[in-house]
Amino acid sequence: MKSLRILATAFVASCLMTAAAFAADPSGSWKWSQPGRQGGTPQEITAKLVLKDGKLTGSVMQPGRGGAEPTAIEISDASFKDDMIAFSTVQEFQGNKRVTKYTGKLAGDTITGTVLAPGRGGAEPMPRDWAATKAKM
């Protein structure tokens, strides 16, 4: 009977360790498109995320304005818990700060959620859908 308990305990421990090994991890390179201004060509966006010791860090590569080179913007206010991801980016343009907030749910190789971006000219923030796919390495 004692060996049966030991065997059952070992089995449960093995299952828990396997589940932990397959827990969701947002680390990697993520790509998505966002609509271009006034119906223009969609812009390709890339985020590089790292989850280490429970802390989410990374950057979002934004297309350059007016033909300028793309810019890497560090993420802030980042969190990842129970497959839910959230982070912000802060950009300065002509002395104004623009905070964009990303929230979403990680499921396999996709993140789907909402982006809350400031409206143009001080207009109310405009939410839009967000769907990122993990880049294959």
Chain segment 5-23, per-residue pLDDT in tens: 655 455 544 444 433 434 6
Fold of 24-134: Lipocalin (2.40.128)
Classify the phi-psi angles of 7: left when phi > 0, otherwise alpha if psi is within -120 to 50, otherwise beta.
Answer: alpha
pLDDT tier, 2 (very low <50, low <70, confident <90, very high otherwise): low
Hey, CA dihedral for 46, 129, 123, 118, is it positive or negative?
A: negative
> Does position 47 have pLDDT exceeding 50, yes or no?
yes
Total-model pTM: 0.77
Kindly state the average pLDDT of the residues 78-90.
96
Q: Which of residues 75 and 71 earns the better pLDDT score?
A: 75
Cα–Cα dist 54/42, whole Å: 33
| pLDDT digit string, tens, across residues 97-120 | 889 999 999 999 999 999 998 877
